[in-house]
Homo-oligomer: A and B are copies of this chain.
Amino acid sequence: MAAPIARVLMQQAVHAKLQTVAASDGKDAKFVEIGRGVVIFVCFFKVCTIDDIAKIVNSVLNVRLSYCDKRQKNVSILDLPGDVLIIPQATLGGKMKGKVTQYHSNIPKEDGIHLYEEFVKLVRLTVESSDSFSGQAIHSGTYGNRQVLNMETNGPYTHCFEF
């Protein structure tokens, strides 16, 4: 099997609030907030290129997940429709080797930020241009930040996919 290019984690939330800028020098911290929707954590590996992002975004937004909703069928993010919060999460790339976790396959920070920006841009573009779009919020965290997050969920229905 080829080395993975990215790992993506999705958790359903009814509300989530993420810090995007930490407080400093007497300035307040900044936050983004979503209502009912999906939190997407993403980590890119070294072998990932900018050309891979469209495929990953397409899969993430279209895959039908079990959310045990009232309709009792699996739905995608585009089906929902709901808000979206994207969070960069380098630790997702961790690989367990005995008692040690290795992050050797993770993309360097400078390259990762470009892929992350493209990922956020394409998620926004795809959700906003979909037939189900009705003005829902699309927010994203800051690459390289400590991800200070409050999340309320009535069942995260956590899914983790490798690309």
Contact = CB atoms under 8 A, between A and B. Distances in A.
Q: Within the oligomer, what is the number of copies of this chain? A: 2
Nearest to A100: B64
Given A63-B100, A100-B64, A92 B148 contact: no
A130 interface: no
Contacts of A1: 1
A156 B160 contact: no
B148 A151 contact: no
Contacts of A74: 100-101
A76 B99 contact: yes
Contact of A160 (B9, B62, B148): B9
A14 to B, nearest CB: 9
Contacts of A103: 66
Given A9-B9, A9-B158, A63-B99, 16 more contacts: A9-B160, A41-B156, A63-B96, A64-B99, A64-B101, A65-B101, A66-B94, A66-B101, A68-B146, A74-B100, A91-B159, A92-B158, A101-B159, A150-B151, A150-B153, A151-B152
